[in-house]
Each structure stands twice: as C-alpha cells, then as structure tokens.
Amino acid sequence: MNTQNIVRFIGAINSLNTRNYTLLKSAIEKRDSEKFVSRLLNSDVVEEDRCCPYCESKSIHKWGVRNDLQRYKCKICKRTFNTLTGTPLSNLHKKGRWLSYAECMINGLSVRKAAAECGVHRNTSFRWRHRFLKNVNDIKPEKLYGIAEVNEQIFAWSEKGSNKLNRKPRKRGYKSIKHIPYDKRVFTLFCRDRGKNTYDSLFFRFSANNITADLSKLLTKDTLFCSQNKAVYLKYTKDNGLRHGSLSIAKQEKVKRDIVHIENVLKYQRNLIIWMKRFRGVATKYLHNYLSWYRELDEFEFNISPEIVLIRAKRSERYNTNHFR
C-alpha cells in the first residue's frame, strides 16, 4: 500500500461507525499479536547457534520471510525451514492467539473453556494443549540432591475420548484404588527433593527393576532415599546401595529423626489430584502430558508467563514418545 492510499485509509477511519471501528481495532490487535509471537519465536535462538533441523548443519543462510517468520536455507541439504520447523508448534495456525491460549493453560481451563476464551474450535483447543505440552515432558531434573522423597500414585486405566473401548464400560468408575484390578492400574512414581525439584514417571508394572531403570541416573550414592518400607523400595535401595530412610506402614510412621519423612512429595501429590479434578478424568494416553503440565506450573510456583510457556513448548526438538515402562 502506497503513501497516498494510507492517507486515504486513515481519513476513512473517522467515518467508521462503532461496529466497524470495533472490527478494525480487533483486526489490528490480532495482527500485532501475530507479529509479537513471531518476533518472540524468532529471537529465542541466537543466530550463531541455529542449525538445519534436517541435517543439523550450521551452514545456513536467510531465505526470505513468510507469515512474519524468517525462513532459512541449508547450504548442505538445500532444504528450507523456519524457526518452527521440526517443533510441536510447526503447522499450527492462528499464532496470534497462542499467548491467550497459554494464559488459559496457566489458569488450568478446560478444553471447551479455553476454546471459548480464545475464539477457536474445541478440537483446535485440544490440539494446541497437547502440542504445547509435548516438549515439557522432557524438561525434568537430571539429578536430585540431598534428600529425595519418593511415593507412588495409582490411576485407573482410562480410554476417555475413544470411539471404541477395549473393555466393558464402567458407569461410575471404581469405588476406591483397592477395587481397581491390577492389570487396569497405571502407576506414577513421584520423586522430589527438598529443593522442590520433581521427577515423575509412569509404569504399567510397579517393580524394583523398573524403578532402577528410571532412577539410575537421577540419584547418587550420597542421596538419602526416603520412602515407606514397601518391598519395591527396600529391594531398589539394597540393589543400588542407597541410603534408605524407611517409614513403617504398620506403625503409621510419618517422621523419623526429624529428617526422614515424605511430607513434601505427599503434598505435591495431593495438590496434583485436586488440580486434576477440574478435567473430570484424563485419558491414560495423555496422562504424561497432564503430569508435565502441573510439574511446569509447580516449577514456577504458578507464576509462569505466557511467553515462557511458548518458548518451552518450542525449544526442544527431540522428544521421547514412550512414557510407560
């Protein structure tokens, strides 16, 4: 648009009625939001560190701009890409509403409430939720230090949202955890140190071998492993030579020697269960995403910004899809 047309356009604004002015203002705000998100996602990586997502070569050069995103071309494989290529945010539309949706996720809104808040379809809301959370699964502490408190949580296997069930339907679920058949249980292990660093993992079978495979690189010989005196934990600590602060279930012990307890991890579990009730059941195949979602909120003490949510959703380009053992 040349200067003369811009001047005419500005002059025409004064003749707009309230409805048309509101529509114009909304369109400008949407455009500003799209440009802000594009700048945010373009600037989260230093140009010297940027590489080709296909061959990982750093021999790249700029190749124009499309949809406000800088494109690049690889000198080795000759393929073009932008900053979102190879990330969970790739091929998602309406990026001007991503910040608003990230705010909805911070507030823990349901799929339909978030869709209504952002003006998108509920299927789009569902897709965005799990794309935003895909990389968060891998953002876990590499080490736990000092005292590590460990406990497990049992969830019932859920096929919520499936068109066809592989079992007989349940009208009201299970009365309590002890009524869930063993082959229908999903075990979640929570490991949290006194610095509030939390690691969680999902198991179909809760055994010492699975715990060893999952926690072998997380805990060191200097770590004090605090748990209840269940056979799984006793075998794990014995096989790995860890110091074990054991709490007797029969004696209903809560604290020993003023230092051995699991109150921190139990509080984390209780708050997680209360937080998850708003979703009225979670499909087992997506359970790892909800655990990661709450872990991210807890990491920032529920004071995370929408910008950080987007950056964390985009940053890691490799993620593990096998969340169960």
What CATH number does the domain containing 204 carry? Answer: 3.30.420.10
The answer to the question of residue 227 being in a domain is: yes
Residues 6+ apart with CB under 8 A from 38: 67, 68, 69, 95
Three-class SS state of 111: helix
Residues 6+ apart with CB under 8 A from 163: none
- The Cα–Cα gap between 201 and 157 comes to 15
Q: What is the pLDDT of residue 262?
A: 94
Examine the domain organization and report whether 62 and 95 are in the same domain. no
The answer to the question of residue 170 being in a domain is: no
The answer to the question of residue 21 being in a domain is: no
Beta-bridge partner residues of 98: none
Q: pLDDT, tens digit, for every residue of 33-50?
A: 778 888 888 887 777 788
The answer to the question of residue 45 being in a domain is: yes
From residue 284, alpha-carbon distances to 152, 162, 319 in Å are 16, 11, 19
Examine the domain organization and report whether 155 and 265 are in the same domain. yes
Three-class SS state of 296: helix
Cα-to-chain-centroid distance, residue 41: 18
Tokens of 71: 């494109």
Examine the domain organization and report whether 76 and 193 are in the same domain. no
Q: What is the pLDDT of residue 321?
A: 39
* Residue located via tokens 């509101």: 22
Residues 6+ apart with CB under 8 A from 213: 325
Q: Which residues, given as ranges, of the chain have pLDDT below 50?
A: 316-322, 324-325
Examine the domain organization and report whether 272 and 308 are in the same domain. no
Residues 6+ apart with CB under 8 A from 289: 129, 130, 133, 134, 136, 137
Q: What is the pLDDT of residue 288?
A: 93
Residue 93 and residue 121 in contact, taking contact as beta carbons nearer than 8 Å: no
Examine the domain organization and report whether 319 and 248 are in the same domain. no
Residues 6+ apart with CB under 8 A from 199: 140, 141, 144, 190, 191, 192, 215, 218
Q: What is the pLDDT of residue 2?
A: 66
The answer to the question of residue 30 being in a domain is: no
Examine the domain organization and report whether 313 and 251 are in the same domain. no
Three-class SS state of 243: strand
Examine the domain organization and report whether 95 and 79 are in the same domain. no
Q: What is the pLDDT of residue 183?
A: 81
Q: How many structural domains comprise the chain? A: 3
The answer to the question of residue 15 being in a domain is: no
- The Cα–Cα gap between 289 and 153 comes to 16
Q: What is the pLDDT of residue 309?
A: 92
Examine the domain organization and report whether 81 and 92 are in the same domain. no
Phi, psi of 25 (to 5 degrees): -65, -40
Examine the domain organization and report whether 148 and 214 are in the same domain. yes
Q: What is the pLDDT of residue 102?
A: 94
The answer to the question of residue 256 being in a domain is: yes
- The Cα–Cα gap between 135 and 317 comes to 8
- The Cα–Cα gap between 274 and 290 comes to 13
Examine the domain organization and report whether 215 and 149 are in the same domain. yes
The answer to the question of residue 166 being in a domain is: no
Residue 89 and residue 314 in contact, taking contact as beta carbons nearer than 8 Å: yes
Examine the domain organization and report whether 109 and 81 are in the same domain. no
Q: What is the pLDDT of residue 118?
A: 92
Q: What is the pLDDT of residue 115?
A: 95
Examine the domain organization and report whether 193 and 118 are in the same domain. no
Range of the domain at 321: 88-138+304-325
- The Cα–Cα gap between 306 and 309 comes to 5
